[in-house]
Structure 1
Amino acid sequence: MKLTLPQATDWVAELFERKGCSRDNARSVAKALVAAEADGLKGHGFSRIPTYLAMLATGKVDGKAVPQAKATAPSVLSIDAGDGYAYPAIDMAVRELPALARRQGMAVAAIRRSNHCGAAGHHVEALARDGLVAMMFANAPAAIAPWGGRKAIYGTNPIAFAAPLDGADPVVVDLSVSKVARGNILAAKQKQQAIPEGWALDADGNATTDAEAALAGTMVPLGDAKGAALALMVEILSACLVGANLSTDATSFFDGEGAPPGVGQLIIAFDPAAFGHASFGASIAALAGAILGQEGARLPGSRRVALRSKAKQDGLVIPDEVVRAAA
């Protein structure tokens, strides 16, 4: 089934509303999934629909949850996602942070009782388009062992960063602390495809190319010991600091079994105008120019923008297995 981006958003929103979400929450989820699919981030796009619906059907996620925000310090917004989908709470943070950051110089949103945050780069990109420099940290169900260990302690724990660039799309960095996002392995399992060696280990700690065995085992951290250290850092920022479940206590994002995951996200926004100089725009432009001046080099996020433009023109295909799951 091939649809334009607005048609795809309407189709996904209507599906989630029909399955029990409030209208606002269904629209928030739909926008996030379609945006991820349009940017080529299929592990955070339509492949998530069956598992999101499974969580909704069993009450593992509350489709009618209304995020609640409370200012706990002059520059800190604490948001309770209410065990709903993460997107309505993140949307609230993205709406509220710009004004708060411009008053205080920087602002932080701490989100707890949350769920899968999707393409983290999209959330910080929205803040960068509002003129802010932004970072996001999120934890996820345990999937990575500490370096030298075999038992999963950390999630794939994404880190995202975005900065505005005058006259161009923002610079966006979005990475998982595993070599690949776990959603890529889920997508491979759904398509009954093998995964490349080096992505994951099975439950016995052996390298595997079997997606199902990988999901039952652990992910290989990006940069080996350095990636495991980054996973620890993100866990502290997005769980311990926020008041969310540790990755070891979070239930799976991939099924409807058990209690809500209860994970956390931390979003930080900086106002460049608050740092006592007016050279930010010129400085980042010079940096970007130096990068683009090298043959073959590109700015992080540029590939997504190109795919997004193509999707706007050509539309998106909703896979048959997703259509069947929506029935």
Structure 2
Amino acid sequence: MSDTPTKTLVPADDLRAFSAALLEKGGLSAEHARTTADVFVWAAQRGVDSHGTARVPAYLDLLAKGVANADPHLTVESTAPAAAVLDADRAPGPVALTAAADEAVRRARDTGIASVGVRRTVHTGAIGYYVSRIAEQGLVGIGFVAGMPNMGYTGVQGAAVATSPLAIAVPAREHAPLLLDMATATIALGKIRQAKASGTPLPEGAAATADGTPTTDPEQAVMPLPLGGAKGSGMSLAFELLTSVLVGAPIFASFHTGDRAHRQNALLIALDPAAFGDPTAFLAAVDDTLTTLKSLPPAEGAAGVFYPGERSAAKAAERGEKGIPVAPKVWRELTERAYMWGSMGRCHEA
């Protein structure tokens, strides 16, 4: 008989409503709470548990400490039809980037391609959500995020750049959209914490000590190393220029001169296939490309041939039917907050 704690299985709609209720109790408006919960549950449903409902307590803490603004005044500045800057006023990332994604789609409908920079937000969550939101409208979505330095840079001692992510979503006609969502780090910070808790050695070249020395010892590891060495660190630095510096809110330079206040910036881009040719033919060609890929012979031992986002889309469908498993520690944190505020959702044991 297993002593492993049982995960709690919660229907997606219930988990969304439960998370939104907690976030509203934490100070967000009902609309902003629903938006934020949507992003968390989207990630949890696709199996990205590190950015799922496990983030709710952390966001409640950000709101309680005033790091995130519970009542932000979002403003959009623009001097060109195809470009804008959204000042988030320290709104939670899901609130700011959802608004930016919708603004990018609206502008791209008129201009063919549009970009919206996001200035002064806090923790953006899974950026795959925002580019997927763009793809749902039949457009191609591209996103970059820059944040606080927490990753090594090739040739530098200690943390120098952020684990800045990149996401691209391309709509298809029959297939699930292609969704590439990746960080510039070899390993996530959460994976380092998990290895430390379990005492499991880390992969070679994945993490480093405080002075930047590579290590496989989770007790000594404090930061991830960049993906592909100089390639990953170079990408992170480029994303800082394309987001933070572009919108006049630099993080990298100010961090290394003493400003450690938490913040993030982003850039979302929407491309309308209709501006490049026949959008119907584009979707058909995307399907043909993905079908061709999947028809290639799999390598020995491979479970199959998959394109980015395919397996997470299948998991989302499965969890949409069966419910989303929530880890015991996360469920305990959520229910403790709920009992404190008198707000519980429906659930049953997996």
Give the TM-score normalised by the residue count of structure 1.
0.89
Question: C-alpha separation between the residues in 1 aligned to 2:26 and 2:106?
Answer: 35
Alignment partner of 1:314 out of 316, 322, 347: 322
Structure 1 vs Structure 2 CA RMSD? 2.3
1:182-197 matches, within 5 Å, as 182-186=189-193, 194=200, 196-197=202-203
Supply the distance in 2 between the matched residues of 1:233 and 1:5 (Cα, whole angstroms): 37
Letter in 1 for 2:296: Q
Unpaired runs of 5+ in structure 2? Answer: 1-7, 298-303, 337-350
Assess, with a 3 A threshold, how the Cα gap between structure 1 residues 223 and 238 changes in structure 2: closer, same or farther: same
Structure 1 residues 248, 314: CA separation in 2 closer, same or farther (over 3 Å shift)? farther
Counterpart in the other structure of 2:96:
89
Deviation at 1:324, TM superposition (A): 3.8
> Hey, what does 2:50 align to over in structure 1?
43
Change (3 A) 1:212 1:136: farther
2:107 corresponds to which of 79, 100, 109: 100
Q: Which residue of 2 aligns with 1:234?
A: 239
- The one-character-per-residue Cα deviations of 1:215-239 (angstroms, maximum 9, x if unpaired) are xx33111111111111111111111
State how 1:124-143 maps to structure 2 within 5 Å.
Answer: 124-143=131-150
Q: 1:272-311 to 2 correspondence within 5 Å?
A: 272-276=273-277, 279-295=281-297, 296-311=304-319
Letter in 2 for 1:307: K
Within-5 A mapping of 1:155-304: 155-186=162-193, 194=200, 196-198=202-204, 199-209=206-216, 213-214=220-221, 217-247=222-252, 249=254, 261-276=262-277, 279-295=281-297, 296-304=304-312
Q: Which moved more, 1:284-293 or 1:39-48?
A: 284-293
Per-residue deviation, 1:93? 1.7
- Name 1:254's counterpart in structure 2: none
Measure the CA separation in 2 of the matches of 1:223 and 1:128: 28
The answer to which of 296-305 and 275-284 deviates more is 275-284
Structure 1 unaligned regions, length at least 5: 252-257
Deviation (angstroms), 1:62:
1.1
CA distance 1:42–1:104, shift in 2 (3 Å)? same
Equivalent AA in structure 2 for residue 174 of structure 1:
D
Verify the 8 A CA contact 2:151 2:185 in the aligned structure 1: yes
Q: Aligned ranges for residues 6-155 of structure 1 at < 5 Å?
A: 6-155=13-162
- Structure of greater Rg: 2
Deviation digits for residues 15-58 of structure 1 (CA, Å, limit 9, x no counterpart): 11112222222111111111111111111112222322221111
Q: How many residues align?
A: 318
Q: What amino acid is the match of 2:317?
A: S
Contact 1:245 1:261 in 2 (8 A): no
Change (3 A) 1:96 1:204: closer
Deviates more, 1:303-312 or 1:50-59: 50-59
Identity within the alignment, %: 31
Cα distance in 1 for partners of 2:241, 2:287 equals 33
CA distance 1:264–1:155, shift in 2 (3 Å): same
SS in 2 for 1:172: strand
Q: Are the counterparts in 1 of residues 105 and 270 from structure 2 also a CA contact under 8 Å?
A: yes
